[in-house]
Amino acid sequence: MAEPEQPQLYLITPPEIELSRFPDQLAAVLDAHDIACVRLSLASQDEDRIARAADACREVTHARDVALVIDSHLMLVERLGLDGVHLTDGARSLRAARKELGPDAIVGSFCGTSKHEGMNAGESGADYISFGPVGVSALGDGATADSALFDWWSQMIELPVVAEGHLDADLIRNLAPVTDFFGIGAEIWSADDPGSALKVLLSAME
């Protein structure tokens, strides 16, 4: 019997990035690891700052044939030459996003801890569903997407699923058999060497 495939990596940028430093950090991580997709996830609502960050990251990702999607800002996708959008409101704006971007764009949906929302997003045309946070945090309402949700999804639904939010080695080890992607961001970017920090997390899958 064949061994199940290991989950792929979905990289999430920090909420604030320094353009003098981050593109080189990103390039180093992409060169050291096999990354399926990068998500530009900035806290800023300044269109110019977002555009400059997108340009810098796109130059790095597309040179390595890695897709770049952006959090929420649907109207910036085509203008900035990005590969798609990551929606944060479940299924609510998914049909409109798909109509706007067309069939070839990546449209993903974060659905928190809700199986029902994930199913609705899938029926509305999402390319992947993201659940989280999987780790415990003092932020938010304390709800987590547990292994039972991913186990059910992996058995019942073919649509790819991303596990993200406060990941650690134990969670990665536990979820590896039942998720398609790990969304990793804050877990590595505060380290002196993000690529090495990612390697430590990935060792939990082996």
- Return the closest-CA partner of residue 58 out of 30, 80, 87, 35: 80
Q: Which helix (H) or strand (E) holds 173?
A: helix 169-175
User: Please, how many CA atoms are within 13 Å of residue 129, restricted to the half-sphere of its CB?
Assistant: 29
Which domains are assigned to the chain? Answer: 8-205 (3.20.20.70)
Is the N-terminal amide bond of 15 cis, ω within 30° of 0? no
| 119 touches 157 (CB < 8 A) | yes
Q: What is the pLDDT along the chain (206 residues), one digit of tens a residue?
A: 345 589 999 999 999 999 999 999 999 999 999 999 999 999 999 999 999 999 999 999 999 999 999 999 999 999 999 999 999 999 999 999 999 999 999 999 999 999 999 999 999 999 999 999 999 987 778 899 999 999 999 999 999 999 999 999 999 999 999 999 999 999 999 999 999 999 999 999 88
